[in-house]
Amino acid sequence: MKQVGIFGKRKSGKSALMYALTKQKIIQDAAFSAMEISGITRVMLVDTVGVDVEEDSTAEKTAQSVDVALMLITDDSFELELGWIGKLRKAGSSIIVVISQADKFPDGGKALAAAVNEVSGLKTFCVSSQTGAGVAELDEEINRRLAKE
């Protein structure tokens, strides 16, 4: 089964995003089954402990096995996250940057997204698990990446 890993610092919103994406999936699958279309790809979403938890290596292990990696960023000190992006690249994952808790930014996270994109070259999505903003778009991108993997 394909795996999507969710990475980010403690309290960056990993579990909330996992829940929001799961809800999105359930809505989609319900629509599909209503149309009696079979062969829906099932994926496993993997929540991780914070990448800033040094005494725990489960995020390291997860990083080795995911097809698609979501790297959550919540503020402009994202050095640690850039390090993880490097690790995930080496492991061969398709990486999507998520500006998490985007509802907390006056500009919806756009400036931070541009800054991260500038240094990493990665596609960046602003998402709020709380308001649901950007969740559908992120889900679509994940599905596109999974289809390519």
Residue 66 interacting entry, from ligand GTP, Mg ion, none, C-beta within 5 to 8 Å by type: none
The least distance separating Mg ion from the CB of residue 104, rounded to whole angstroms, comes to 17
DSSP 123-143: -EEE--TTT-TTHHHHHHHHH
Query: In the beta sheet, which residues pair with residue 72?
Result: 98
Token pair in block for residue 83: 């390090």
Q: How close are the terminal C-alpha atoms of the chain, in Å?
A: 12
Nearer to ligand GTP, 33 or 131 (CB): 131
Binding segment for Mg ion (CB under 5 A), chosen from 12-20, 34-42, 77-85, 95-103, is 12-20
Nearer to Mg ion, 8 or 134 (CB): 8
Using CA atoms, how far residue 73 sits from 7, 11, 38, 133, in Å, is 9, 11, 36, 16
Residue 16 interacting entry, from ligand GTP, Mg ion, none, C-beta within 5 to 8 Å by type: ligand GTP
Q: Per-residue x/- mask for Mg ion, residues 14 to 33, rule CB under 5 A? A: xx------------------
The least distance separating Mg ion from the CB of residue 75, rounded to whole angstroms, comes to 17
Count the alpha carbons within 13 Å of 67 in the hemisphere toward its beta carbon: 15
Nearer to Mg ion, 66 or 120 (CB): 66
